[in-house]
Structure formats: C-alpha cells, structure tokens
C-alpha cells in the first residue's frame, strides 16, 4: 500500500471546487500539511467556463420597455495557484505554510450601445473580486496517530464593480472599487491516521476574516446631471466566510483506496453593501447578498497500476446558495466528474495532473424583470451551462 499512500493526497486535491457556489475557487484543504516528514508542493489550475442565458435589455426608444436578448459568455477564464511547505521540526512538532486563492470571480460582458443613449453609456457589467491567503500552521503530534494543529491566515482582498446604467434601465454609470487590503483570521483542527491501513481523516475549522476599508464609489451621467453625479469614499465591511472541512481516505485493497470530503461554507452571512447608494435608502443596498450556505461533497477512488502510476476518478456535488438567476449568480450548485493521474518520477519527486467537468445547475428565474434591488441584472432564462478545469501538481519530499 506504500505507493497508494504516497499518491492519494496528491490526486484527491487536483481541480475540485474551482468552480462552485458563490465566489469560491478553492476548497482550502490542509492535506499538504499532513504529509509525512518534509514536503514542498506547487499546483496550478485553469478554469474555462461557458456561462450564458437571456437578459432583459431596455429598448432604444423607451428605456422603460425591456426586450429579451441572449447574453455572451460572461465568465472569463481564470488561473489559480497554490503552494505549500511543511517542515517536521521535531518528531512531535511540525510547521507549515499554505498559499491559495480561496475566493474570486471575473464576470465581464458588454452589449452594443443603445443608439439613442449617450455615446459613452453601454449595456455592460464587470465584477472582479480577488483574494489571496497565506496560512501558517503549527502542529503537535503526541503519537503516530494524532495531529492537533492551529494557525493564522493572512488574507488580501480587492474588488472592482463597473455597471452601465443601461443594464438597469437608467442612464447612469456606477463604478466602485476596494483597493487591495489585508486582514487576519485563524484556523484549527485535528487529524487521525493509521498508516498501515492508509487511513487518514481530518477536521478543520476556518474563522471568518473581516475586511474594513474604504469603498471608492462614483455615479456619472452623460450629459452631466449634477444631482446624479455622486461620489463616496466611506468605509465598508466585508467578511469572507467561515468554513469547516472534513476529509477522509482509506485503503480497501492492496491496490485501491477510497477518499471523500465534505465542506460547509457560511455564505449566508457574506454581503457587499454600497454605502453610496444606501445613503438615500432606509435599508442597506446590497451589491452581493447570498441566501443560503454552501455544502460541497466529493467521493472518489484511486487505483495503483504500478510503483510509478496511479489514477483516480471522483464525483462531486455542490448545493449552491439559492440566489435567483442573475449575471452574478447564473447557476445554483453543480455536479462534477474528475479524472486524475499520478507519476512518481523518483522516490522524492512526483507530478500529477487532472481534468474535471462541471455541469452547472440552473438558478431559479425570478419572474420580476426589475430584479430584487441588486445592480446585477436578473436573467430571464439560463442556458445549460458547464465548465472545465485542468490542473497540474508537483511535489518534492526531503
């Protein structure tokens, strides 16, 4: 079972939740920290999504009259990176560092301008959010079976929103951005393993991380209407969500093992409010507001063909967050199928690669074409959308 024990932590975490509920782009696994001895790992994944549907667009002659038109593919390709280092400082103590990009999105689409509108106003939306995480972990192993660990996370966040007024039936452009800023959180967990059976399980909790920084916002019109040309630089608070990860693997025969994971993410408490637009309202106006928490599961099997080659296959499900269909939330959960392969170059160095297909479930269409107050336009219908992720990982043991 030695070859299997070496491969599973590599293959199980090839592209898994790189396209899932809300803004999640990583399952925030700490599996690399549970590797034996000293370990260095690097991985990258490319995500290609095909996401589109129909949207309500204002008529040129009457902006209050909406016509249904097809959208382009409005989710852009993105690349993710992950690296980690684990050091066994003492038989009972270990130190680790994990860098990943846990949350993000890149929504970007443009329609042709409406002829009767000002030349610089087009029907367009752009929303980018980027986070980067560096987690530092300290582990205590009182015996070969148990590992208790805790640590701190340093997280950076930046976001940019641009919405043309035509997207909402108004001749106003909205622009808001939060410059790159940092905040801190914590994580803790425990792991239990029986090496001779290749059994390993871990439970990890990550606390929410609160970012409080200025939100630069501006609304503009052409021609100029002073009462509608506003700007604001007020502080706003964004809390990236708390989460719990349960991960499991076990050998079942000399050449096969199973693995599984369960992840909960508290998206229901994640919100991005607009201080500028909220200033004229009794209630905060939300740019992003998710309705439910996310549950994600993966179940897979690995087969060892030789001392050098191992392959995996897994299936996954994501519950989604139940928001109505919009250009920000066109899908509501997904099903996935992944294939991976591992090659042991020599005793200390390996490479693994994988591909995962995501079938995106359609979000429920909201019948009210005016939406629910969000600046992200509701979709009138959703296509059969999907995504593909390709990943590669290298690891070195020393």
Q: Give the N- to C-terminal CA distance of the chain in Å, as an integer.
A: 21
**Burial (CB count within 10 angstroms: exposed 0-12, middle 13-18, buried 19+), residue 297:** middle
**Complete domains list, the chain, with CATH:** 2-110+136-154+182-210+240-397 (2.40.160.60)
Distance (Å, whole) CA 6 – CA 348: 10
Whole-number pLDDT of residue 254: 87
Among candidates 71, 62, 160, 159, which has minimal Cα distance to 111?
A: 71
Find, among 259, 217, 262, 225, the residue nearest to 243 by Cα. Answer: 262
Res 166: pLDDT: 59
The CA distance from 327 to 110, in Å, is 12
CB atoms within 10 A of CB 152: 14
DSSP 71-134: ----B--EEEEEEEEEEEEETTEEEEEEEE--BEEEEEEE-PPPTTS-TT--SEEEEEEEEEEE
CA-based angle 154:160:165, to the nearest 5? 160
- Measured distance CA(43)–CA(169) in Å, rounded: 44
Residues 247, 259: Cα–Cα separation, whole Å: 8
Label residues 299-333 b or e (16+ Cβ within 10 Å = b): ebebebeeeeebbbebebbbbbbbbbbbbbbbbbb
310-368, pLDDT tens digit by residue?
999 999 999 988 888 887 788 888 999 999 998 999 989 999 999 999 999 988 887 55
Q: Which residues does the chain have with pLDDT short of 50?
A: 1-8, 10-17, 119-120, 369-373
Place of tokens 């909402």: 168
Query: Which stretches within the chain are classed as H helix?
Result: 2-11, 275-278
pLDDT per position as a tens digit, 140-158: 999 999 999 999 999 999 9
pLDDT of residue 382: 86
Cβ-based burial of 57 (10 A; exposed 0-12, middle 13-18, buried ≥19): buried
Beta bridge partners of 394: 42, 351
Comparing CA positions, the residue from 252, 198, 152 lying closest to residue 36 is: 198
From residue 306, alpha-carbon distances to 209, 253, 257 in Å are 44, 14, 14
Return the pLDDT at 329: 80
Closest CA to 121 of 134, 112, 129, 108: 112
Token code pair at residue 195: 């090496």
Residues in the chain: 398
Residue 7 carries which DSSP code? Answer: H
Torsion over CA: 297, 355, 259, 145 (sign): negative
Distance CA 181, CA 131 (A): 10
Counting Cβ atoms within 10 Å, is residue 144 exposed (0-12), middle (13-18) or buried (19+)? exposed
Burial class (CB in 10 A: 0-12, 13-18, 19+), 89: exposed
């Amino acid at each position: 079972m030695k070859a299997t024990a070496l491969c599973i932590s590599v293959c199980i975490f090839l592209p898994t939740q790189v396209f899932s509920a809300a803004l999640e782009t990583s399952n925030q696994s700490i599996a690399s920290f549970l590797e034996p001895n000293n370990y260095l790992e690097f991985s990258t994944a490319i995500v290609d999504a095909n996401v589109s549907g129909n949207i309500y667009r204002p008529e040129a002659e009457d902006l209050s009259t909406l016509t249904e038109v097809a959208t382009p593919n409005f989710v852009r390709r993105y690349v993710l990176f992950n690296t980690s280092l684990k050091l066994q400082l003492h038989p009972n103590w270990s130190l680790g560092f994990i860098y990943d990009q846990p949350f993000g999105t890149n929504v970007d689409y443009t329609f042709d301008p409406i002829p009767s509108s000002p030349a610089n106003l087009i029907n367009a939306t752009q929303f980018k959010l980027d986070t980067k995480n560096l987690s530092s972990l300290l582990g205590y192993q009182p015996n070969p079976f148990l590992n208790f660990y805790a640590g701190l996370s340093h997280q950076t966040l930046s976001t940019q929103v641009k919405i043309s007024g035509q997207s909402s039936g108004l001749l106003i452009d909205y622009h808001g951005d939060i410059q790159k800023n940092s905040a801190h959180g914590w994580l803790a967990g425990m792991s239990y393993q029986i090496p001779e059976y290749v059994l390993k399980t871990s439970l990890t909790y990550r606390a929410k991380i609160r970012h409080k920084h200025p939100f630069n916002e501006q609304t503009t019109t052409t021609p100029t209407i002073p009462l509608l040309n506003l700007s604001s630089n007020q502080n706003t608070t964004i809390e990236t969500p708390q989460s719990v990860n349960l991960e499991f693997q076990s050998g079942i025969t000399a050449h096969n093992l199973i693995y599984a994971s369960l992840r909960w993410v508290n998206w229901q408490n994640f919100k991005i409010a607009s201080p500028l637009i909220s200033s004229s309202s009794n209630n905060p106006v939300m740019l992003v507001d998710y309705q439910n928490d996310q549950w994600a599961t993966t179940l897979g099997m690995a087969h060892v063909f030789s001392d050098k080659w191992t392959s995996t296959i897994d299936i996954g499900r994501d519950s989604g967050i139940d928001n109505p269909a919009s250009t920000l939330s066109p899908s509501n959960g997904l099903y996935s199928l992944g294939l991976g392969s591992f090659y042991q170059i020599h005793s200390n160095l390996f490479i693994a690669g994988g591909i995962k297909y995501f079938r995106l479930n359609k979000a429920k269409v909201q019948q009210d074409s005016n939406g629910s107050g969000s600046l992200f336009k509701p979709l009138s219908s959703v296509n059969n959308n999907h995504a593909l992720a390709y990943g590669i990982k290298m690891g070195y043991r020393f």
